[in-house]
């Protein structure tokens, strides 16, 4: 199995609400799928917002046995100021504050918010991980 991921899927309770939230952050959908899915192009991979019923069908009922919970994603930027700016902006768009932006034990600076379904997004500056102009990161 090659060391890569193609698509990240977030289970959402209300597709319109979630789409509006991500559009509010500045994102543009690439495609809509069958009325219950909204796809975004994220560099070389995709992110899908998927309605809860469709998610359940996708798992052939398995998701009923293990309740789907929040996913944690990170979005790194180039400096602390960008963390503060973006974090404050996200809160104005309906993001829920999980922990404020502050110095981290690993040497960086980050804050955490949650989207309408509780999916976590860390906005981070990490001095140890080179971040290219196109947003690709190198894990060091």
Cβ–Cβ < 8 Å for 113, 66: no
Strand-pairing partners, residue 51, are 12
Q: One symbol per residue from 4 to 43: x for binding a second copy (CB under 8 A), - otherwise; what is it? A: xxxxxx-x-------------xxxx-xx-xx----xxxxx
Q: Which helix (H) or strand (E) holds 124?
A: strand 120-125
- Shortest distance, CB of residue 16 to a second copy, whole angstroms? 19
86 binds a second copy (CB under 8 A): yes
Out of 13, 16, 45, 79, the residue judged to bind a second copy by CB under 8 A: 45
Q: Which helix (H) or strand (E) holds 91?
A: helix 80-92
Residue ranges in the chain assigned as alpha helix (H)? 15-24, 52-58, 62-65, 80-92
52 binds a second copy (CB under 8 A): no
Q: Which residues bind a second copy (CB under 8 A)?
A: 1-9, 11, 25-28, 30-31, 33-34, 39-47, 50, 55, 58-60, 62-63, 66-76, 86, 89-90, 98-99, 106, 112, 114, 118, 120, 122, 124, 129, 131-132, 134-140
């Amino acid at each position: 199995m090659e060391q890569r991921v193609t698509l990240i899927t977030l289970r959402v309770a209300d597709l319109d609400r979630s789409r509006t939230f991500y559009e509010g952050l500045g994102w543009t959908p690439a495609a809509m799928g069958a009325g219950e899915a909204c796809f975004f192009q994220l560099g070389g991979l995709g992110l899908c917002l998927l309605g809860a019923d469709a998610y359940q069908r996708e798992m052939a009922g398995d998701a009923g046995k293990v309740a789907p919970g929040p996913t944690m994603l990170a979005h790194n930027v180039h400096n602390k100021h960008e963390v503060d700016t973006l974090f404050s902006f996200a809160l104005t768009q309906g993001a829920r504050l999980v922990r404020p932006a502050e110095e981290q034990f690993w040497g960086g600076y980050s804050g955490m918010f949650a989207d309408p379904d509780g999916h976590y997004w860390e906005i981070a500056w990490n001095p140890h991980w080179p971040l290219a102009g196109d947003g690709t990161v190198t894990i060091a």
